[in-house]
A and B are shown apart, each in its own frame.
Chain A
Amino acid sequence: MTKSMMIVGVGGQGSLLASRLVGAVLGECGYEVKLSEVHGMSQRGGSVVTYVKYGDEVHSPLVDFGEADYIISFELLEAARYLPYLKPGGKIVTSTQVIYPMPVITGAMDYPQELVNKLQARADVTAVDALALAEQAGSPKAANVVLMGVLSAATDISEEVWQKALEKTVPPKFLALNKTAFALGRAAGKG
């Protein structure tokens, strides 16, 4: 049985570290893992997505409409954008952070209102202020690891595996900070 995750956000938010962490966790669990990232132009503030596939045997590295078991979003509008990729019964973990895209900045469109409510009306959604929790842990840059903490509470993978993966993927200098960020996220996820 192959399972799928998508890690989505805005280019520059640190989704590549998150995907490395998830890859290490799933590898530790003994799954075959495929991750697919997009580099280049979209990393400059565009909508970015990392696909994660895992199971006994994985073929396509891509996740498409109606296939994702989990969507982890670093930004609210991006959670809404990728909702069609969620499998019925799938789960969304999203930060409530709002980053205006250029059509909103130029006034061509409005940023959609009430996104958390709209998402919750359609799916199982855990929305947390990951930025505030990251700042509480010591740096807004750790918002990605906060969200990994939230995700960890939604999966049946043991906390020990996540901790081990953190130690493997985060530079020692930032490990303590990221462990705090992870713990805050995990607590928020258990809510």
Chain B
Amino acid sequence: MNKLMLGNQAVARGLYEAGCRFVSSYPGTPSTEITEEAAKYPEIYAEWAPNEKVAMESALGASIAGARSFCGIKHVGLNVAADPLYTASYTGVNGGMVIGVADDPGMHSSQNEQDSRHHAIASKVPMLEPSDSEECKEFTKLAFALSEEYDTPVILRTCTRVAHSQSAVELLDREEPALKPYEKNPQKYSMAPANAIKRHVVVEDRMAKLAAAAETSPLNRVEMGKTAIGFITSGTCYQYVRELFPKASVLKLGLVNPLPRQLFFDFREKVEKLWVIEEMDPIIETHVRALGIQVDGGKAQTGLLGELSQTRLAKAMGVTLPASKSLDEALPVRPPVLCPGCPHRGLFYTLKKLNLTVMGDIGCYTLGGMAPLGAMDTTICMGASIGALHGFTKMRPESNSKCVAVIGDSTFMHSGLTGIANIVYNKSFSTVLILDNSITGMTGHQQNPTTGLTLQEEETYPIKMEDVCRALGVPRVRIADPAKLDELEAAIKEELAAEEPSVIIVRRPCALLKYVKHKPPYHVDTDKCRSCRACMKIGCPAIRFEGGRASIDDTLCVGCGLCQQLCHFDAIQE
């Protein structure tokens, strides 16, 4: 039976069919749906871990216990999990272990455009790269087989266009490999120097064997056609090459680490010109050139930035593009915005009003940096707001009263705790605002350790962030409601003035949560509106100016009432 499936859904199907028993992940676009879909198979134990490092360590633990295990994360999540990855390469596995990592070329929903293949090379772990949903499923299964055959974790790398594209997948039955016996083996699993020195030998030997296997592996496929130009490519780029040159010769790589050698020489001999097509960094191209093979086109033409497509490839290769029309005027862009009723809006309005320096973090609230709110100075990585605030205020002590960090609930549990410990331990008078909207928002509503619910929405012990902060020694911890602007502003001013570390938990659930009841839309009494535009300062997509007066779009307004608090003339009414 064939089914149209998202790449991520197909990876989950691969986990099911491969007999995977354990999945531990942290949500991150474009990888999130793998774990959400895996959780729908009762045969698979699936969970959200607090961060990628814990997720990967848990998957390794499950593998050592003898189960086939999986960890699904995005490219920047692999940085967080890099520590266990580089040593899991040494310990190898017991049950097969696969790490799904989704890159985001073009940065649709990411803070950088890094190429995960570097991690595979540096950690000496094999990496597979599927090019559509069927391969997502098949490569997941092959990755488990490879993992057990070569005693290594295996990385399955996708990108946005593979993870979030749907194509047909053939559904097969589940294998049920038995739990492998666990035998105590510290020489293999306990990487103290004496053991690790010996394991490093095993790692190098394994990679040499895998490189030899890459020459003949069915994962790497030569499709001979016309020989004027031959392409070496992998992943989604294979689809762009095929779209543009349906009859060209192509060497399609499914195993992108380690790369073959002789296969490249043989392919080069059969074609007149050779192009290497890959997104982001020239990993394959550099390898091919280092072998002394002449490359006629590659990164010099396709560039290092953003995604490729058949059209970008056509441009790079000087192929004529189809004609197209456009309007002869500049159109306003439509960047993402905080939703109507978003609890973050009141907070960012207040931070801007107080003219504070705001160290930001990763989540929906990063949108608080966009005009007209524009209240964010930095965004680096998960948890960086707290460390950045600490360093900034240590060097500019006068800014203690003018500078805050903002971090979401899930991000706080992911990487915020150690930042708080640092503030307390090293005595900075920082003010940290934890934006608790009771869910992991940006990635589409995943539960986290503070919500009291598991991935499967079963009840569990909720971790109370106010208790955590107090236990970490923060002397001043308080709760504030971002819907009550006056109280919120007073709370922030008080904590900024205090010469002690402080945390304000700014708490109100995400407006998109099903249990959050929306009120009827507000409306503007145009006789009372004086066109002062005070209500426009909050950047609500439901409020616009028409005929010199404010008006509220009743299809968008959810009745949060924030704008009413800003109107000086009582013109906004329920």
Q: Which of A59-111 contact B (CB under 8 A)?
A: 59-62, 64-67, 77-78, 80-81, 83-88, 99-111
Do B339 and A32 touch across chains, with their CB atoms under 8 A apart?
no
Q: Which of A42, A59, A86, A102 has the most CB of B within 10 A?
A: A102
Q: Is B195's beta carbon under 8 Å from chain A?
A: no
Verify if B306 is at the interface (C-beta below 8 Å from A).
Answer: no
Q: Is B149 an interface residue (CB 8 A)?
A: no
A172 CB-CB contact with B under 8 Å:
no
B145 interface residue, CB < 8 Å from A?
Answer: no
Q: How many residues of B contact A (CB 8 A)?
A: 62
Does B160 contact A35, Cβ atoms closer than 8 Å? no
Complex contacts, B311 vs chain A, CB 8 Å: 64-65, 67
Q: A83-B325, A107-B545 are in contact. Are A38 and B108 (CB under 8 A)?
A: yes
| B371–A102 touching, CB < 8 Å | yes
Closest 3 CB pairs of A and B: A40-B109, A66-B322, A40-B29
Does A185 reach chain B (CB closer than 8 Å)? no
Q: In chain A, what residue has the closest Cβ to B556?
A: A99
Contact of B165 among A34, A84, A102, A112 (CB under 8 A): A34
Q: Are B334 and A77 in contact (CB under 8 A)?
A: yes
A41 at the interface (CB under 8 A from B): yes
Check A14 for interface membership: any CB of B closer than 8 A: no
Given contacts A35-B165, A86-B324, contact A102 B555 (CB under 8 A): no
Closest to A88 in B: B323
Q: Does A189 contact B (CB under 8 A)?
A: no
Of the candidates A64, A87, A103, A109, the one having the most CB atoms from chain B within 10 angstroms of its own CB is: A64
When chains A and B are docked, how far (Å) is the Cα of A124 from the Cα of B371? Answer: 36
- Give min CB distance, B297 to chain A, whole Å: 19
A102 to B539, CA, bound (A): 7
**In the complex, what residue of chain A is closest to B6 when comparing beta carbons?**
A37
Take A40-B29, A41-B108, A140-B555 as given contacts and tell me if A101 and B324 are in contact as well, using a CB distance cutoff of 8 Å: no
Q: Nearest residue in B to A51 (C-beta to C-beta)?
A: B165
Whether, in the assembled complex, B168 has its beta carbon less than 8 Å from a beta carbon of chain A, the answer is yes
List residues of A whose CB falls within 8 A of some B CB. Answer: 10-12, 23-24, 27, 32-47, 58-62, 64-67, 77-78, 80-81, 83-88, 99-112, 118-119, 122-123, 131, 140
Q: Is there an interface contact between B323 and A102, defined as CB atoms closer than 8 Å? A: no
A85 vs B111: C-alpha distance when bound (angstroms): 27
Q: Roughly how many angstroms separate A80 CA and B327 CA in the complex, as a whole number?
A: 7
Tell me how far the C-beta of B409 lies from the nearest C-beta in chain A, rounded to whole angstroms. Answer: 17
The stretch of B87-95, B237-245, B277-285 that contacts the partner chain: B237-245
Chain B residues closer than 8 Å to A67, beta-carbon distance: 311, 322
CB–CB A44/B337 < 8 A: yes
Partner of A123, one of B132, B325, B330, B544: B325
Say if the beta carbon of B338 comes within 8 Å of chain A. yes
Tell whether, in the assembled complex, residue A104 and residue B337 are in contact, meaning their CB atoms are under 8 Å apart: no
Among residues of A, the one whose C-beta sits closest to the C-beta of B314 is A64
Nearest B residue (CB) for A115? B327
Contact in complex: A66, B109 (CB < 8 Å): no
Choice from B132, B236, B321 contacting A65 with Cβ under 8 Å: B321
**What distance in Å separates the Cβ of A166 from its nearest Cβ neighbour in chain B?**
16
17 sampled A-B residue pairs with Cβ under 8 A:
A34-B132, A34-B167, A39-B29, A39-B30, A39-B444, A41-B108, A45-B338, A61-B167, A62-B240, A65-B311, A77-B332, A87-B324, A88-B322, A88-B324, A102-B335, A107-B545, A122-B325
Q: What CA separation (Å) do A117 and B309 show in the bound complex?
A: 31
CA distance A35 to B163 in the complex (A): 11
A101 touches B333 (CB 8 A): yes
A33 close to B4 (CB less than 8 A): yes
Closest A residue to B444 by beta carbon equals: A39
B240 and A60: CB pair below 8 A? yes
Residues of A within 8 A of B555 (CB): 131, 140
- Known pairs A40-B29, A62-B310. 14 more at Cβ < 8 A? A11-B336, A23-B4, A32-B167, A34-B167, A35-B166, A36-B166, A39-B30, A39-B109, A40-B108, A45-B336, A45-B339, A61-B161, A103-B371, A105-B544
Is B185 located at the chain interface by the 8 A CB criterion? no
Q: Is B202 an interface residue (CB 8 A)?
A: no
A33 near B332: Cβ-Cβ < 8 Å: no
B337 & A65 in contact (Cβ 8 Å cutoff)? no
Q: What is the chain B residue whose CB lies nearest that of A47?
A: B334
**Residues in B204-246 with C-beta less than 8 Å from chain A:** 236, 239-240, 242-243, 246
Query: Known contacts A34-B166, A102-B334, A122-B325: does B310 contact A64 (CB below 8 Å)?
Result: yes
B536 interface contact, C-beta 8 A = yes
Residues in B whose Cβ lies below 8 Å from that of A40: 29-30, 108-109, 442-444
Report which of B30, B334, B543, B544 forms a contact with A46, defined as CB distance below 8 A.
B334
Which residue in A42, A61, A80, A106 is a CB contact (below 8 Å) of B371? Answer: A106
* Chain A residues whose CB sits within 8 angstroms of the CB of B462 once the complex forms: none
Contact B325 A84 (CB under 8 A): yes
Contact A101-B332, Cβ < 8 Å, known A35-B166, A41-B108, A65-B321: yes
Nearest-CB distance from B239 to chain A (Å)? Answer: 5
Which residues in A have their C-beta under 8 angstroms from that of B327? 80, 83, 112, 118-119, 122
Q: Which of A32, A42, A65, A101 contacts B168 (CB 8 A)?
A: A32
In the complex, the answer to whether A41 meets B322 with C-beta atoms within 8 Å is no
Q: A164 to nearest B CB, angstroms?
A: 15
The answer to whether B326 has its CB under 8 Å from any CB of chain A is yes
Cβ proximity bits B468-496 to A, threshold 8 Å, 1 near / 0 not:
00000000000000000000000000000
Chain B contacts for A105, CB-based, 8 A: 372, 536, 539-541, 543-544
- Nearest CB of chain A from residue B278's CB, rounded to whole Å: 15
CB-CB under 8 A for A45 and B322, given A33-B4, A103-B332? no
In the complex, per-residue mask of B153-165: 1 if CB is within 8 Å of any chain A CB, else 0: 0000000110011
Q: Does B331 contact A (CB under 8 A)?
A: yes
Nearest B-chain residue to A41, judged by Cβ: B109
Q: Which residues on the B side are within 8 Å of A119 (C-beta)? A: 327
**Could you say which residues of chain B place their CB within 8 Å of the CB of A106?**
371-372, 536, 539
A34 CB contacts on chain B under 8 angstroms: 132, 165-167
Q: Which residue of A lies closest to B240 (CB)?
A: A60
For A34, give the chain B residue with the smallest CB separation: B167
| A91 CB → nearest B CB, Å | 13
Chain B contacts for A45, CB-based, 8 A: 334, 336-339, 541
B370 at the interface (CB under 8 A from A): yes
Q: Given A27-B4, A39-B164: A104 and B544 within 8 A (CB)? A: yes
Chain A min CB distance to B142 (Å): 22
